[in-house]
Amino acid sequence: MLRTRWAMTCLGFAATLTLCATSLAQAPSEPASGSPSDETNVEATVPFAAQIAEPKEIDPSLPNVLIIGDSVSIGYTLPVRRELEGKANIFRVPENARGTIYGLKHIDEWLEGRKWDVIVFNWGSWDTVQESADRYCVNLRKLVKRLRETDATLLFAGTVPAPEIARGFNGGKAEYFERQKLYNASAHRVLVDEKIPCIDLLHTSLPHISQVYRPNDYHLSPAALQTLARKVAYAIEHPDTVSIDHAPSEFSYYMIVFALQSGPANVIEKSHTFATFVKANQNRQIIDTVTISWLAASGIIETLNPVPQSGANWSLRDTLEWGSEKGARMSKWGPYVIDAAFFERAKRRTEQLDRGNIKYLILDRRWRRHTGTRGFDCIHALSDIGGYLATGSARGEDASRKVAKHFKPWIRGRLLNEHWLFLALGIDRFPFIDRDL
């Protein structure tokens, strides 16, 4: 009796995250006889998950999105793919990702073989019966660390409560929801520490929690899962609108790191590292823009006489025109969604550069930390807003890549739909090469 109850409990939580109507219609049927178990439920979902793991057509010009999760993610994969058709290639892991222990065993094989731009992930429901809340927190941190190595934009899909099956959990429905709250709090601590936005599927699903596929079932209805799919799709396309605490922020903040370079020769007078920082409201109206582009005020780089020159912080478009006149190759990293605090750092730096007491140098070396007349090259005038960075002899694209990586602690994700931002900045006509960190 106890063993049967435990099997039913595992089944209930394994199925908390559920299949949509299309997945239920095409998935193999559950056994008609015998006690349902954790194992039989997994076997019922795995073949279908494998069938929808990749889109039928993959457009190499579009960003690649990976969905990791158990049965609710299997359920919303196809609707999300339809919502983002022509905007992103939607993939998912070819099986039910279960709990964090299973995730740690298989995460490497799920991530290999492709460059990921966005990863939507969830673990939580299975862990409520497999792991303590503390162990769940530890495991989730390990998984986040591995996901970070992909340089993808990370979005956590909030855990959805079980509909009817929750009443079968030990003390009943009330005890189950209290336990789920505990695990959600553990996940929230990790998300806050790691600055990972959370797609709030919990509150999105609550109005639909009684809408199940069959009476006394744990699968949400097609309409309910379509609602979740729209929420996930919108978050993938607009990660800047998703916050850690579920409430949309009034403003979003972005950063683009640029490089000018003369090609393989990379001559120093045509090499330049700079960045633009943007504050925009949720209607995509730009509220404030900050550019750190430290150059000689004259625009002439004295390579044969590298002494301190009068410096100026150039505007974004003036810098790009300057590079265009020199025939420099233009590269960019981003746009990235960044923390508001980092935007403020950039703003303070421009105020410092505009005071007129800082010189421009091709190589700043001792001038960078000099107590008297201070001087910066273009790289360190920018990089120092993230703390001291030693760049050695790097310049142009190599230097800009180092600077962009240096800023990773303040990056929340990649802005997929960048066209509106480039139009608003008036730089859509420039031939940028998109670079990876």
The amino acid sitting at 349 is R
Percent of the residues in the chain that have a pLDDT greater than 70, as a whole number: 76
CA dist., res. 400 & res. 364, Å (int)? 16
Whether residue 83 contacts residue 230, with contact meaning beta carbons closer than 8 Å, is answered with yes
CA dist., res. 418 & res. 337, Å (int)? 11
Statement: residue 346 has pLDDT above 90: yes
What torsion do the CA atoms of 54, 58, 61, 67 make, to the nearest 10 degrees? -10
CA dist., res. 41 & res. 34, Å (int)? 12
- Rounded average pLDDT over 217-243: 80
Tokens of 397: 């694209």
| 41 vs 180, more confident | 180
Statement: residue 210 has pLDDT above 90: no
Statement: residue 270 has pLDDT above 90: no
**How high is the pLDDT of residue 244?**
63
CA dist., res. 26 & res. 45, Å (int)? 10
**How high is the pLDDT of residue 304?**
62
Nearest to 103 by CA among 131, 64, 76, 75: 131
Nearest to 276 by CA among 390, 435, 427: 427
- Partners of residue 66 on adjacent β-strands: 91, 119
**How high is the pLDDT of residue 19?**
34
Tokens of 379: 């790289």
**How high is the pLDDT of residue 46?**
35
- Rounded average pLDDT over 327-349: 92
Confidence of residue 393 (pLDDT cuts 50, 70, 90): confident
Compute the mean pLDDT over every residue in the chain, rounded to the nearest whole number: 79
Rounded alpha-carbon distances, angstroms, from residue 128 to 96, 103, 132, 180: 16, 15, 7, 7
Instruction: Give the global pTM.
Output: 0.59
Confidence of residue 200 (pLDDT cuts 50, 70, 90): confident
- Rounded average pLDDT over 44-63: 80
Statement: residue 226 has pLDDT above 90: no
Question: How many other CB atoms are found less than 10 A from the CB of residue 114?
Answer: 13
Nearest to 29 by CA among 14, 13, 18, 40: 40
**How high is the pLDDT of residue 11?**
37
**Percent helix, strand and coil across the chain, each rounded to 5?**
45, 20, 40
Statement: residue 50 has pLDDT above 70: yes
- Rounded average pLDDT over 219-246: 79
Phi, psi at 82, each rounded to 5°: -70, -40
- Tell me which residue has tokens 């107590």: 371
CA dist., res. 403 & res. 107, Å (int)? 29
Whether residue 302 contacts residue 362, with contact meaning beta carbons closer than 8 Å, is answered with yes
| 362 vs 148, more confident | 148
CA dist., res. 361 & res. 380, Å (int)? 10
Rounded alpha-carbon distances, angstroms, from residue 35 to 10, 170, 213, 220, 406: 12, 18, 20, 22, 55
Q: Across the chain, which distance is largest between two alpha carbons, in Å?
A: 88
Tokens of 207: 């109005």
What count of residues does the chain have? 437
How many Cα atoms occupy the beta-carbon half-sphere of 218 within 13 Å?
23
Question: How many other CB atoms are found less than 10 A from the CB of residue 47?
Answer: 13
Q: Are strands 251-261 and 433-434 parallel, antiparallel or unpaired?
A: unpaired
Structural domains of the chain, ranges and CATH numbers in brackets: 49-241 (3.40.50.1110), 251-435 (no CATH)
pLDDT in tens, 358-372: 888 876 665 555 444
Confidence of residue 165 (pLDDT cuts 50, 70, 90): very low
CA dist., res. 259 & res. 399, Å (int)? 8
Whether residue 212 contacts residue 163, with contact meaning beta carbons closer than 8 Å, is answered with yes
Nearest to 254 by CA among 355, 183, 137, 335: 335
Mean pLDDT is lowest, of 120-129, 205-214, 307-316, for: 205-214
DSSP secondary structure of 154-202: EEEEPPPPPSSGGGGSTT-HHHHHHHHHHHHHHHHHHHHHHT--EE-HH
Confidence of residue 262 (pLDDT cuts 50, 70, 90): confident
Confidence of residue 233 (pLDDT cuts 50, 70, 90): very high
Mean pLDDT is lowest, of 51-65, 111-125, 166-180, 181-195, for: 166-180
Please state at what angle helix 71-83 crosses helix 38-51, rounded to 10 degrees: 20
Tokens of 377: 């090259």
Statement: residue 43 has pLDDT above 60: no
**How high is the pLDDT of residue 101?**
96
**How high is the pLDDT of residue 37?**
28
Whether residue 316 contacts residue 289, with contact meaning beta carbons closer than 8 Å, is answered with yes
**How high is the pLDDT of residue 79?**
92
**How high is the pLDDT of residue 1?**
39
CA dist., res. 316 & res. 295, Å (int)? 12
**How high is the pLDDT of residue 17?**
36
**Alpha carbon of residue 1 to chain centroid:** 46
- Rg (the chain; Cα; Å): 25
| 254 vs 204, more confident | 254
